[in-house]
Every structure is written in C-alpha cells, then in structure tokens.
Structure 1
Amino acid sequence: MMALKSYEELRKIDVRPFCKKRDGIEYLNWAKCIDLLRDNGAEKVYWEPIPNKETGSSLIMSSATFTDGKGNTNRCYETRIKVVIDENEYEMQTPVTNGSNPVKDNSMSQQRVWNSMCRAFVKCVAIHTGLGFDLWVKEEDKGDLVIPESLEKPASHAKIKTIQNMCASHGIDADLWVSQNNRTWDTLTEGEAAKMLTALKERYGDE
C-alpha cells in the first residue's frame, strides 16, 4: 500500500494549473484537492462539518451584532470542519466572508457557508500536508503593502470625516484610535488615513 508523500514533496507540486481565480486570488477546488492527495498516496480523504453544539447548524455565530451606516447588521460568522486523511484527523475553523469583507445578515446564504467549509478544507490540507501551501503564502503576502512617500501629506478633511463617521457608526472611539498612534487629526497623514480606512472596510465592508 502506497503512503502519502511527505510534506516537502507535496509542497513542490504546482497546483496552479488546477486553480480558478476569484476576487483576484487563486483557489484550489476542494474536489481536485482530494484527487491530488489520492494521486499522491492517500487512501482515504474526506471532510465533514462539525455542527454548532447550540443549534445543530453548520454555522457558528457570535452573539454580538454590528450595524453599518445603512442599518445592515452582521456578526462574526464561522464554520468548523473535521478533515480525515488516512489515519490522521484535523479540525479547522474558518470565517464566513464575502471576499475580504464580512457577510451582512441580509446576504448570508447556504452557498456562503458551503464556500467557507470548502476553503477551510483546502487550507487545512495545505497546513498539514504542504499541498497548495504556497497559494496561501502568496495570499498572505498581499497584505504587506507599502505606502509610497508621496502619500505622506496631511490627510484631507473628507477622508478624516469618513473615518470619524465610520467609527461612530460602529461604536469605535476615533479620537482614542488616533492618539494611540501618536497622532492628532491635524497631524494624521494621507497614508495613515488610508490604512485606517482599509482596516475599517476589511472589518465592516464597504459603506
């Protein structure tokens, strides 16, 4: 009986020809991921949802809700799965997102829950076996953006107002946030304001 190849061997496999792009990021299909594992020595590969103990649903959610400027609410939604590869069992919990944005309550669907579990499976496989791991390295590196020097001028009044309004709508103390970064509204730069807006939009979505 052939054993699954080592982490180092599986990481060397180029999975990009089997990927599809969504939101500018390459994704490996969960079914193709299983095929590749079995082609490289795995005898048994599958995953299954771990139900929420309180509801029996596949969806895990926080009790706290967040409301945007339009009155739409969302909470921290996640899914959890068990991954079985031969004699090994792993668990993986992953947020349910809309691209890089949180899912609003009025757009939650079974498809988003399913996508979250599929993504959890592929990521879990990458972490524990090495297959497709470099896809995740590439995705994480996208967050390391450098703000050019040309942006280091005082933040515009419009940008500051947008930050203040978004913070107010989500219960964030904007003045405290700025002071913790050793800045005032008068000394805040365009680059710093851009980073603040990006952080707000990644957490709460576009307003």
Structure 2
Amino acid sequence: MALKSYEEMRQIDVRPYCEERDGLTYLNWAKCIALLHENGAKIVRWDPIPDEKTGSSLRMVDTVFTDTKGNTNRCYETRIKVVIDDKEYEMQTPVMNGPNPVKDNSMSQQRVWNSMCRAFVKCVAINTGLGFNLWLKEEMQPFSNAIPLEDEKASTAQITTIKSLCKKHKINAECWLKMNNTTWGDLTAANAGNMLNALKERYGDE
C-alpha cells in the first residue's frame, strides 16, 4: 500500500493530536510520523543537514543584531532532510521563540531541536498534505501575503502600524523614508509591506 494522495492526506483532521504553545498550534513530530505510517508510508525519517562551515546543526548569519536592552541575536536557522519512502525533501526554517526571534541569551539545544521538529512537520504538510490546513491561519499574517499593485498607495493602517513600531523601537521613520526616496504621502503599499516585514523580522512584532 502506498501513501495516500495529497488531497486524501489533507482531509485528515490532525487537530485532536495538536497542542497550543505560545499562541501557535503544533502537531507533534512523532504523531506526524505515526499518521504517515497509518496512511500507507513504509519509511519515514528526517536527518539534520549540518552547516557546511561549522558542522553544527545550527546555522547562523554573521551579522549580530542588538535590541534596545542590549540583548543580541542573529538570524538562526536549521535545515533537515525528510525521507518518505522513495522521496526526499529538504526544509530550512528559523529558530524561533514562539512568534519571536531567539535572543543569544536564550539559545539552547532544545530550541534547535524544536526548530528541526517544526521543519519536519511543515515539510510533511507541504509535500504530502498532512496537516496542511494548520498552516493556513498561521501564514496569513497582515501585509505578508497580498501582492499590491506597484503604484498602489499605502493604507492608513499600514502607515499607522509603521509609525507605531518605529516609535516603539526608537527608529527615525522620517530618515528611513528619506533613505528610500519617498514620503508618507508617496509611500506605496509594496514599500510599506517591505518596511513592515523588515520590522517584523528585526524585532519579532506581529
């Protein structure tokens, strides 16, 4: 018996096997493997792909970020290989603290492990359909998925959010606009979305 089709796997209700942590819904990696086997998979495993430079499971950029309290962090990620019968997939994902980036002073092996487990479950969802519906709500964040027209003006909500976040994190918004050769009145929805995504990635704001 082969693994069921993508559409069949997507119809499986995984919610009874999930748990809530930090405002997010998680499907346990072990239960994910069990459900794959129960639905036709013979071989299921995942292996860390070490960073080529360090040999470590933890990957990181060279740039160090410092917040207003002096705490530092980098962009940390893990990468894994997922094997399901005769198919192989790879998945790279950030090491996160709930919805926020991990600060250096709270990095741990457990966070690295959690990142790889989450990468496995997400990779399975993308490629087999199992648990895919869990990710729809999480990925539909404000300003992240819409594709605005090139000359569409930024919305009042976007501008208000940018100003609020810049004030919160002591960023000179006017200087930022000047660097991008624009003003509040000329700011496009696309540029506003880029600014909001940059702030979210830098500070972890929702």
The answer as to whether partners of 2:165 and 2:199 remain within 8 angstroms in 1 is no
1:76 equivalent in structure 2? 75
Alpha-carbon RMSD across the aligned residues, in angstroms, is 3.3
Listed as ranges, the gaps of 5+ residues in structure 1 are 146-150
2:148 equivalent in structure 1? none
The answer as to whether partners of 1:47 and 1:84 remain within 8 angstroms in 2 is yes
CA–CA separation in structure 1 for the residues paired with 2:165 and 2:118: 36
The answer as to whether partners of 1:166 and 1:200 remain within 8 angstroms in 2 is no
CA–CA separation in structure 1 for the residues paired with 2:196 and 2:84: 41
1:131 equivalent in structure 2? 130
- The structural deviation recorded for 1:179 is 5.7
* Structure 1 residues 167 and 103: alpha-carbon distance in aligned structure 2, compared to 1, 3 A threshold: farther
CA–CA separation in structure 2 for the residues paired with 1:126 and 1:25: 16
Q: Secondary structure at the match of 2:170?
A: helix
- The structural deviation recorded for 1:139 is 1.1
CA–CA separation in structure 2 for the residues paired with 1:66 and 1:144: 24
Say which is worse superposed, 111-120 or 22-31, in terms of deviation. Answer: 22-31
1:148 equivalent in structure 2? none
Greater C-alpha radius of gyration: 1
CA–CA separation in structure 2 for the residues paired with 1:68 and 1:31: 36
Listed as ranges, the gaps of 5+ residues in structure 2 are 145-155
Q: Secondary structure at the match of 2:34?
A: helix
CA–CA separation in structure 1 for the residues paired with 2:18 and 2:30: 11
CA–CA separation in structure 1 for the residues paired with 2:115 and 2:9: 23
CA–CA separation in structure 2 for the residues paired with 1:36 and 1:28: 11
Q: Deviations over 1:67-119 (max 9, x none)?
A: 11111111110000010101111110001111221111111111110010000
- The structural deviation recorded for 1:200 is 2.4
TM-score (norm 1): 0.78
Identity %: 66
The answer as to whether partners of 1:49 and 1:80 remain within 8 angstroms in 2 is yes
- The structural deviation recorded for 1:140 is 1.2
The one of 160, 173, 176 equivalent to 1:174 is 176
* Structure 1 residues 132 and 174: alpha-carbon distance in aligned structure 2, compared to 1, 3 A threshold: same
2:92 equivalent in structure 1? 93
- The structural deviation recorded for 1:165 is 1.6
Query: Which AA in structure 1 matches 2:121?
Result: V
- The answer to whether the aligner puts 1:3 opposite 2:2 as a matched pair is yes
